[in-house]
Amino acid sequence: MEILFTQQELARRVTELARAIEADYQGKDLLLVGVLKGAVIFLADLMRHLSLPLAVDFMAVASYGAATKSSGVVRILKDLDTPLNARHVLLVEDIVDTGLTLRYLLDVLKARSPASLKTCVLLDKRERRQVEVPVDYCGFVIPDVFVVGYGLDYAENYRQLPYIAVFRAT
Ligand code: 5GP
């Protein structure tokens, strides 16, 4: 598999993102919301570089079958344990592709009246976007390729790779 970002490149970029987040959330009650499963490695690395008081919570979502995916309707498999009112929420995602999943999650979370709501995305396939979504902190913009590793899977495999690689089924 062709490596797109090495372990060192990921570590450096995650540290940079953490510095930017730290600067913006000084004195604020930060809640990191990780989207399972893909964001777990990114979130775990990111939070270890944040010298801020923070809490973390998780959501798990799945798209309704392939036919309805374009509708952007996702199913919540696991909801947050924490109420969001008056929290500064940072939604942490592995990758944004069409934007439909992130759009849906933002709408769900916004309805719960957080003090603020921003997004932190490791990988952004910007050219694939179907709906506008704000990406407040972006690791890397990537082309339209299917990537695995660093939490991202192909049929539940490859999540444990310490780097990000381009997956091509052969
Ligand atoms: P969107 O709703 O933005 O189209 O899709 C977001 C979801 O699609 C991601 O959370 C991820 O699960 C999946 N996805 C999109 N592109 C890739 C990719 O290149 N590799 C992997 N492993 N998952 C992807």
Answer whether residue 76 shows pLDDT above 50.
yes
Query: Ligand 1 centre from 126 Cα, in Å?
Result: 12
- Furthest CA-CA distance within the chain: 51
Tokens, residue 17: 């993102």
- Is 86 exposed, middle or buried (CB count within 10 Å of its CB: 0-12, 13-18, 19+)? exposed
CA distance 99 to 91: 14
Pick the atom of ligand 1 nearest to 99's CA: 3
Pick the atom of ligand 1 nearest to 104's CA: 2
Average pLDDT over residues 7-31: 97
* Ligand 1 pocket, Cβ-based, cut-off 6 angstroms: 38, 94-102, 146-148, 152-153
CA distance 94 to 56: 16
Q: Produce one character per residue of 25-41: b if its CB has 16 or more CB atoms within 10 Å, e if not.
A: beeeebbbbbbbebbbb
CATH number of 2-144: 3.40.50.2020
Residue nearest to atom 11 of ligand 1 (CA): 95
> Which residues are part of the catalytic machinery?
97
CB atoms near residue 5 (< 10 Å): 21
Question: Which tens digits make up the pLDDT trace of 37-70?
Answer: 999 999 999 999 999 999 999 999 987 665 544 5
Tokens, residue 27: 């004195």
pTM of the model: 0.95
Query: Ligand 1 centre from 16 Cα, in Å?
Result: 23
